[in-house]
Amino acid sequence: MTTPPSRLQTAVLGRSWRWTLARSALLIGAAWLAFGVVLLPVRGAGVSMRPAVEDGQLTFVNRAAYWRREPARGDVVALRMAGPSVVYIKRIVGLPGERVAIERGQVVVDGVPLDEPYVARRRPWDVPPLVLGPAEYLVIGDNRDMRVQDHDFGRAQRSRMLGTVIVW
Amino acid sequence: MVKKGAALAAAVAIAVAAYAYWFSDERQIVRLLQAVAESASQDEPLAMAGMAKVAGLRTLLAPDISIDPGPPAPGPITGAAEVMAAVTRLRSTFPVVHVRFEDIQVAVGRDESGADSGAGTAAVHTTLRVETRSAAGDESLDARELSLLVLRRDGRWVIAAVKTVPVLERVAGAGGTAIRVEDRSNHD
């Protein structure tokens, strides 16, 4: 004859401590997989990605995004520095091998103006045409209402791209 | 008896491993960077203790250190005295300065180009993060990827050269200040 578990025991360990342990291990494993391997929490600092990423906004980098595909135009990407602790967030506007220019604020790819619905306002930036190398992407922030001298953008190597930034 | 012997052997092995880890060249260089960050940081403006901390940088830097911050800075900073003067200016401009080195990678026996260079040399790759708060309360964050040359001189590791590694290859017309996004998952 066994003594039934007390209310406290049931509340803490459930009806079966083995199942509770297994469920806890599963939950910890899933959390580690989600937040330790796939999703990297990041906080925006600065205004060059407005309005997609605001200063101080908390979001995540999806590091699984490029496991099965290459970076694409329009992706908001995280670019690592020496490691993943501090990253740049930019948007891809030019792909490897393309000829890209900015004419009076309008991005032009291989002679065709790029439709950028994510840009709210733009100043008349001018960047002479450049041809991207085999592993190079042109990345820019969405806030084109800044002075061009205050906005950091340029060619980024594929090897620096950690994944896509989840924008909501 | 056998159990006691095994436990003792395990304890000795752990102690030896911990000693080797703590006093390894890599750990000494990480502690050197932490000491530099500590010396450059402050939580209150121009305290006397803070000035002493800046003076302590002298033991962490090679006298002929060269720092190339890259554009838009006008040129390299050379000499420990000039570096200390720059740190003092930073600390007098901002009441609160927090300096940190993130993602530190140390390669002992290598120079900045990655070539073999003997046991008294190490190449370090890291991200420098500087957070400041002005007297008006405005906060800013700057981060740069750095490549450092660290040398062992008179039995101590000192920083001999620092170069900025560009994350983006800037195109004509692009600026030098950036949006930077920091991952707070691991460090804050």
Contacts of B104 in chain A (CB under 8 A): 82
Selection from B152, B161, B162 nearest residue B120 by Cα: B152
The pLDDT of residue B48 is 66
Confidence tier at B174 by pLDDT (50, 70, 90): low
Interchain contact, A154 vs B170, CB within 8 Å: yes
As a whole-number percent, the residues of chain A with pLDDT over 90 amount to 70
The pLDDT of residue A15 is 76
Interchain contact, A152 vs B102, CB within 8 Å: no
Interchain contact, A88 vs B178, CB within 8 Å: yes
Q: Which residue of B has its CA nearest to A131?
A: B171
Could you tell me if A139 lies within 8 Å of chain B, comparing CB atoms? yes
Provide the mean pLDDT of chain B: 84
Interchain contact, A127 vs B102, CB within 8 Å: no
**Burial bucket for residue B71 (CB in 10 Å: 0-12, 13-18, 19+):** exposed
Give the pLDDT mean for A12-31: 88
Interchain contact, B186 vs A153, CB within 8 Å: no
* Residues A93-102: tens digit of each pLDDT: 999 999 999 9
Q: CA-to-CA distance for A39 and A164, rounded, in angstroms?
A: 10
The pLDDT of residue A136 is 96
Interchain contact, B168 vs A139, CB within 8 Å: yes
The pLDDT of residue B186 is 31
* Residues B81-126: tens digit of each pLDDT: 999 999 999 888 999 999 999 999 999 987 777 777 777 899 999 9
Task: Decide if pLDDT at A130 tops 80.
Answer: yes
The pLDDT of residue A1 is 58
Q: Which residue of A has its CA nearest to B176?
A: A152
Specify the pTM: 0.80
Interchain contact, A88 vs B180, CB within 8 Å: yes
Give the pLDDT mean for A60-67: 95
Task: Decide if pLDDT at B182 tops 50.
Answer: no
Are B93 and B46 in contact by the 8 Å Cβ rule? The answer is no
The pLDDT of residue B175 is 61
Residue B70 distance to chain A (closest CA, Å):
14
Polymer length in residues for chain B = 188
Q: CA-to-CA distance for A152 and B76, rounded, in angstroms?
A: 21
Contacts of A35 in chain B (CB under 8 A): 185
User: Is the ipTM value over 0.85, yes or no?
Assistant: no
The pLDDT of residue A161 is 97
Contacts of A132 in chain B (CB under 8 A): none
Interchain contact, B184 vs A43, CB within 8 Å: yes
The residue to which tokens 């990407």 are assigned: A77
Query: Where in B25-120 does DSSP place strands (E)?
Result: 61-68, 77-78, 96-108
Tokens of A138: 């042109």
* Residues B24-68: tens digit of each pLDDT: 999 999 999 999 999 999 987 666 667 788 888 999 999 999 999
Element (H, E) at B11: helix B2-22
Q: What angle do CA A149, A54, A84 make, to 5 degrees?
A: 85
Provide the mean pLDDT of chain A: 91
In angstroms, the Cα distances linking B176 to A120, A153, B72, B129, B167 are 22, 9, 6, 16, 11
Residue A119 distance to chain B (closest CA, Å):
16
Interchain contact, A88 vs B179, CB within 8 Å: yes
* Residues A23-42: tens digit of each pLDDT: 999 999 999 998 888 999 99
Contacts of A96 in chain B (CB under 8 A): none
Could you tell me if A101 lies within 8 Å of chain B, comparing CB atoms? no
Determine the residue among A81, A146, A157 to mutate to test chain B binding: the one whose Cβ has the most chain B Cβ atoms within 10 Å. A81
